[in-house]
Amino acid sequence: MIAFVVYVVGIYLAIGLVLAFPFVFSWHKRINPMTQNATLPFRVLCIPGTAILWPYLLIRIFHK
C-alpha cells in the first residue's frame, strides 16, 4: 500500500516537473502579466511550487 502511494506521488511530481518548465518560461504571463520581465533566478525559484501546484495552475491558464 505504501509503495502504491509513493508511486502515485512520484507520478504526480513528475508530471508537475514536466509542466513546470513551460509554465515558468512562457505560460506565467497568462496568470500574472507583472512577471513578464522576471529574472532567471526568480523563475528557477518558482519551479518547485509550480511542480506541486500544477493542477491549479493548469486550470487557471486554460480556463480563461
Distance CA 8, CA 45 (A): 24
- pLDDT at 64 (0 to 100): 63
- pLDDT at 44 (0 to 100): 93
- pLDDT at 1 (0 to 100): 92
- pLDDT at 31 (0 to 100): 86
- pLDDT at 28 (0 to 100): 87
Structural domain spans, the chain = 2-63
Cell numbers 526568480 correspond to what residue? Answer: 42
Distance CA 3, CA 37 (A): 42
pLDDT beneath 70: ranges in the chain:
64
What predicted TM-score, i.e. pTM, was given to this entire model?
A: 0.82
